[in-house]
Every structure is written in structure tokens, then in C-alpha cells.
Amino acid sequence: MDRGLFDNKSHSDFFGGYCTWAVYRPGNGKFDVEDIDTNLCTHIIYGFTGLGTDNTIQCLDPWNDLYDGGGKGALYRFTGLKSKKPSMKALVAIGGWNEGSEKYSVMVSDPAKRAVFVNSVVNFIKKFNFDGLDFDWEYPANRGGIPSDKQNFVSMIQELRNAFAPYGWLLTAAVSPGKSTIDSAYDIPAVASNLDQVHVMTYDYHGAWDPYTGLNSPLFSNNLVDKGTDNILNANWTINYWISNGVPRSKIIFGMPLYGRGFVLDNPSVNGFYAPAALPIPDGPYTRQNGTWGYNEICEKFKYEAGWTVVRDSCYMSPYAVKGNLWIGYDDQQSLRAKGQMIAAMNLGGALIWDMDTDDFRGLCHGTTFILTKTVIDAMNGPTNLMPTPSYPCRTDTTLTTTSVSTTTATPPSTKKKMVYYCKREGYNADPDDCGVFHQCVYYTETGWQDFVQPCAPGTGKFALRIIIIKNMTIIGHYFKFFFKNFTIHYFFTKYFSIQ
């Protein structure tokens, strides 16, 4: 499957999501624009851009996005990949979970602000040679939004669609998998009629916000353990709900995660589904965000550490792995093959993987690069009579992993709570103990603070800070002041804490 899978099969679209912060990951986890295999994708998505205070689309990481000031120019290099495959479309995504919701709510509520935004998007797409926009507002009427967001979102995408029409650009949106959010956020028929494709994010059904274990992206429900509304927390239910409420199958893009969500078990002997787990799994060596491991981190754990038990449920169809007090639910070749087969059987528009940079993209585990991506593509372009079905009564099969790399006994995982940075304000915050990372803090009414740990850009740690000395002046921003005679020294922090 190493050759371009779309050379002879092209009835399903395949969207490869790229998170730009992957360029800052260490070692074998580092992933840059040129690591994208263009042979595999009909579309690629650049994530993310954000919404500025002036209601325009803006770069979130100018040093990486642009060439200005010696930057890396990733935006230009990303769309430049089309020279390798002219039929491929490049979209830019705006939003994402870390961007929040409230400022988008404010923008779409005002026709004048919407007009400013639309004009800025048109100019942005022209400047960087994109082929469209993926609107990833998470989510209208939620997380600080207001009920009228539901209609204002429709107005927003109508205006974008009208502005895009003369250029033939694509307009897509990433949408929620959860019923309560779907019902409050989207006028589904209107959304469907104004978008070229609807990217249904069938993941994050369970995670560290829960006090118990659960799969990140189960395909079906398990009637033996799912109670109450938990039986709708699965991809099959979500996809069918969007279809039954008015989205044509051809516009449904099945979003799949190439990462898992994990927990620290309260009691290692109680380690099945819905097992008590108050803490997130410690961060992995590449993604470095507790509660989440990329598939490349998971498969390398299996390769280098003996003693992991992989459990596969015949109903959920997605596996989890447990070792000591560590528990991680994820997707692998088998579960993603079933999801690809569902796309073919249901005649859906295609697949979105989120994201390419957490696949086994170097082939270190499987000897083949992008093994999960290729599995999805092969399955969704295969036979249409292989609709996956859960096997009742639900049962589990277990496999004990071994390693041929090292015979050293693995150190038992510690139950000691890892020291974490406690958020005190929203936005970007320095780490008091580690100058190599920063914290993006978001406050949710339902669950309180969430801390997204991100690596600092190269050359912006504490030893690279540039001090601006300004006589008798005040700079508005987040800064520390030290007074020396007539001078005020301002440490003015940007996203990666370099002084501007």
C-alpha cells in the first residue's frame, strides 16, 4: 500500500489533518510540512489559525507560519505541496478547541464584524494559495456562547459561501459528535446546504474529564456496560444522527482519531470499562500532554515495553491497553479498518484523520509509514458489502504484548500524582519550573480549568529572551517590571514567550 492509493481509487475523499505544533515535538515525534505524504490525500488541512481581536483571521504562530523575521513559512510550504499533486486541495482551519467559543460568538452576532471576517478570509486564502476554509468553531451556543449562535453560524457560513463562489473554493466545518451540543449548536439542514462537506469528529467521547475509564472513539455501544445516555457515545450513533437530521451521506466526512485518551487507575485490579480513574495518564514523550498519547507513542510503548495487555471488545470494536495502573483507549489498524468499511458500506463522502503527525509516520512500529492512514484509505475504497456489525453478546479478547527490543523488566508505573501547573487565568502562561513548555489555560463552566501543555518554539526559552529597554514608557501587555533609575525593563511575552 506504499504507492498513491488514489491513483486508481478515488470515489471517497480523504482529508489529512496536520497540527502545526507537531514541528516542535522532540526526536522521532517531530513532524513538519514536508513529512506529509501527498500520495495519500485528496485534501490536506492546516491547523490552526485563529480569530483576532479585530475580527480577522490571524496566524497563531507567526514564527512557524510565516517567513517574516526569519520564520519558517509553513503556510507557504504547506500549499506548495500541491506542486507534487496538483489535484490535491489544501484547506486552512480556523478555530479548534483551544481557541474557545466566546469570541466567535461575539463576531458572528454582528453583521459588520462578520463582513470584516469574511473579507479577511478571502484575502488570507488568496495570499497563501489555499483552496478553502475548514471552520472549526467548538462550539456555537456552547462554552460561553449564546443560543442565537445557532442561527448566526448559519448566517456566517452563508456569507462565506457567497464570497467563495466566484473562486470555486471549498467550505467545510468540523462539527460535534455529542447530541446535546449538536442540538444546541446547529440548524442541521441549513448547515448541510451551505457546506461542501461536514467533518463529523467522532472522538473525545471519553477522556480525563471523566472520573472513570472509557474509549476515545468506540464504533458502537456496549449494552452490557453503557448506561443511560452513554449508549449514544459512539461513532455509529453520531454519524447516523447527522444523516437522519438532514445531511446527505455524500457530504459526511467520517472524522477519526489517530490518538488515544488514557487514565491512571485508582485500583490496578479494577481495570475494565468505567473503572474508577481520577487522574489522566502521564504525558507521552512526543505529544507531551497528559491524558493523551499519539498512536506512534502507543505502538512504541508496545514495541519497547513488555507487559501491556491489549483488550478488544466485540461491540465497541476499538481496543484499550492496560499495564499496572495505566489505561489507554485508542484506535489501531483493526478498528480503523472497520470504520473505513463503514464509509464504503454507507456510501459516505470520505474520511478525515486527526491527525497525520500521530500516525506511525516513520514506520518504526510496523515497518510501513502511515500504517493507520493507509488502512483507512484501503478500507473505504474497498468492497461496499463489508458493513461492520457488533458481535452480541459483547465479549472481550485479550493479548499480552512482548518486546524483542529489550528484556529489561519495565519499571512499575507510579501512582504518585505528577506535579502539574495550576491555571489561574485564561490564555498563555509560562511554566514556573520548565522554560521549554508553556501552558494554554481554558476555563470551562462544567469542568473548570483545563491545561493544554505546549512546547516552546526553538530559541525562545529563558536564555533567548530579548530585553527591550524603554525609557519612561509603558507597554500594554503581560509583563514584569524591574525599575533601574529611569528605565523600565519590560518582558513582553508572546505565545512562545519571545520578546517582541
Measured between its terminal Cα atoms, the distance across the chain in Å is 47
Check whether residue 380 and residue 436 sit in a common domain.
no
Could you say which of 373, 389, 405 is where a domain stops? 389
- Domain assignment present for residue 168? The answer is yes
436: left (phi over 0), alpha (psi -120 to 50) or beta: alpha
Please indicate, yes or no, whether residues 43 and 146 belong to a single structural domain of this protein.
yes
Which one of 138, 297, 300, 305 is the catalytic residue? 138
Q: How far, in Å, CA of 109 to CA of 125, rounded?
A: 23
Rg (CA), the chain: 23
Closest CA to 354 of 289, 258, 234: 258
Residue 200: phi and psi, rounded to 5, are -90, 115
Note down the domain range covering 450: 427-490
Instruction: Please report how many Cα atoms fall inside a 13 Å half-sphere around the Cα of residue 287, on the Cβ side.
Output: 25
What's 125's domain CATH number? Answer: 3.20.20.80
pLDDT computed for residue 12 by the predictor:
86
Q: Which three three-digit cell numbers place residue 33?
A: 510540512
The reply to whether 279 falls in a domain is no
The reply to whether 346 and 462 lie within a common domain is no
Query: Which secondary-structure segment (H or E) carries 311?
Result: strand 309-313
Whether 77 maps to a domain, the answer reads yes
Residue 237 resides in a domain = yes
**Cα→Cα distances 168→132, 153, 208, Å:** 9, 21, 41
Same domain, 336 and 439: no
- Is 101 in the same domain as 228? yes
134 DSSP β-pair partners:
93, 172
pLDDT at 431: 74
Number of domains the chain is built from: 2
Q: Which residue has the cell 501543555?
A: 453
102: left (phi over 0), alpha (psi -120 to 50) or beta: alpha
Pair (373, 434) in one structural domain: no
* pLDDT under 50: residue ranges of the chain: 1-10, 404-420, 444-447, 458, 460-500
Q: What angle do CA 218, 448, 150 make, to 5 degrees?
A: 65
Is 111 contained in some domain? yes
In contact, 316 and 408? CB cutoff 8 Å: no
Cell digits of residue 118: 469574511
Pairing mode of beta strands 427-430, 309-313: unpaired
**With 0-12 CB in 10 A as exposed, 13-18 as middle and 19+ as buried, what is 328?**
buried
* 414 within some domain: no
> What is the DSSP code (8-state) at residue 414?
P
* 59/163 same-domain check: yes
Cβ 160 vs Cβ 166: under 8 Å: no
- The reply to whether 356 and 466 lie within a common domain is no
- The grid cell for 31 is 513532524
* 348 and 479, same domain (yes or no): no
Strand 132-136 with 326-329, pairing? unpaired
Helix axes 149-164, 111-128, angle to 10 degrees: 40
CA 127 from chain centre, in angstroms, equals: 25
Per the DSSP assignment, residues forming a β-bridge with 428 are 440
Shared-domain flag, residues 385 and 435: no
Supply φ then ψ for residue 145, to 5 degrees.
Answer: -80, 180
Question: What is the tens place of the pLDDT at every residue in 50-76?
Answer: 999 999 999 999 999 999 999 999 999
Task: Say if CB 260 and CB 284 are below 8 A apart.
Answer: no
β-partners of residue 397 are 312
Query: Do 250 and 344 sit in the same domain of this protein?
Result: yes
All three cell numbers of 350, joined, read 470520505
Residue 297 catalytic?
Answer: no
For 267-294, b/e burial (b = at least 16 CB within 10 A) is ebeebebbbebebbbbbbbbbbbbbbbb
How many CB atoms neighbour CB 111 within 10 A? 12
> Is the C-alpha dihedral spanning 139, 239, 378, 42 positive or negative?
negative
Same domain, 382 and 445: no
The secondary structure element, H or E, covering residue 158 is: helix 149-164
Q: Which residues on adjacent β-strands are paired with residue 326?
A: 264, 323
C-alpha cell at 387: 458493513
Distance of CA 168 to the CA centre of its chain: 27
User: Cβ distance 133 to 173 under 8 Å?
Assistant: no
In a domain? residue 179: yes
In a domain, 325, yes or no: no
Write down the pTM of the prediction. Answer: 0.81
Distance CA 388, CA 265 (A): 31
